[in-house]
Structure 1
């Protein structure tokens, strides 16, 4: 029964509030790059559109079909990603992964709100869904950078 109790604690009111208020849920009309990522384990998906200029995200839209943890992650990413560089998004992605899998510290600001997901460390089957928003954003930035150089 403690497993059920741990799962209930995992879905805290803060996580549920974030999941209910995800910013930038409108897809961009003319994105520089679009990437869709899917978690093979649970089927969660996140599609990210970005516009970029001078190496920074200038526009962001997302379509999130994920569990509450994936939605909470997408909410934090969406609230903080505009104006960020590829290096900042890559660092946030790496720090989130380390926080979940290696007991690493909370990601640096402005992505430090991802600390709300620390209780998910013990639920490895949820990690992929939590990672989707940052992974899709990073790949979209890499794609946009290649397109702008071509």
Structure 2
């Protein structure tokens, strides 16, 4: 089986991690995906509103992760919208992403655009609470958590 997989990998051409779609379809599709993600999480929160019988801590962590994922999606959507509102000359985007700059003069839109790019402050807690909930669900099964590497 692994030989077939190796042959498949060797025989394929370029595989790109990011597929860029031209404007405006890519922008609308991407933001629509954020909307569907939020709707799915809200549905899950509604469905889970009565859960938490035996393992309240795990369900609480899971709900917290869902709330942070909603906040992250809202933040990402705001960042996308604000980026489209910025004039082209407001961003200096050389090939090296570590050299990207937001150029002044700084008004409320540019500051909001800058602040929305701290989305890791919402996404990392979401993943942390998700992992904590999974750990507590695993412990509830009577098994010890996996040892850390």
TM-score, length of structure 1 as denominator length? 0.31
In proportion to residue count, which structure has more helix? 2
More strand by percentage = 1
Q: Who wins on radius of gyration, i.e. which is larger? A: 2
After TM superposition, the score normalised by the length of structure 2 is 0.31
